[in-house]
Amino acid sequence: MAILTVSALVAAAVPLTWVRVAPSDVDRWHVDPMEVAHVPVKPKEGGWLMRTGPANAAPPVFATDPATLLSAFDEIVRATPRTKVLFEDAPKGRTTYLTRSAVMGFPDYTSVKAVPEAGGAALMIWARNRFGISDMGANRRRVEAWLAELSERLPHR
């Protein structure tokens, strides 16, 4: 019986450990939100796409330039617990963040691109989970919370 118990614990621990230690391939996860081909249509698809064009939501336009907008957003995101920069491409106005869930450490990736819009700038955002088929709306809630805080700091167009 002890061997079965130990085997079951090991079988459960290995995938949970992999979730925490799996390397993040920058080429796979640092993407331009404007180039995402598939828009998640159901919450169980594990992502939230905010951009001009086909998306889950249109981005708000802020009365500022893309660099200032991305800098303010970056400050908010970096203050988020369990979040770090995966890759930053300042010349292209793009950054990808990795946020881990509190209990299990599941990784979510958020790629952001600041673009000029009429009268200001907007953020194109592609937030998605890596493991599983659902994020239970976590990416959408996180993006909306970040944008709410950004709205308190910067004026809208």
What tens digit of pLDDT does each residue of 12-61 get? 555 667 677 788 888 899 999 999 998 887 656 779 999 999 999 999 99
Element (H, E) at 50: strand 47-50
**What average pLDDT score do residues 2-18 get?**
59
Q: Let me know the angle formed at the C-alpha of 132 by 111 and 27, rounded to the nearest 5 degrees.
A: 35
pTM value? 0.88
Beta bridge partners of 61: 122
Cα 149 to Cα 77: distance, rounded to the nearest angstrom = 10
Q: Which of 25, 27, 50 is nearest to 40 (CA)?
A: 50
Q: Which of 125, 139, 105, 109 is nearest to 26 (CA)?
A: 109
Cα 83 to Cα 65: distance, rounded to the nearest angstrom = 25
Cα 96 to Cα 88: distance, rounded to the nearest angstrom = 6
- pLDDT for residue 132: 81
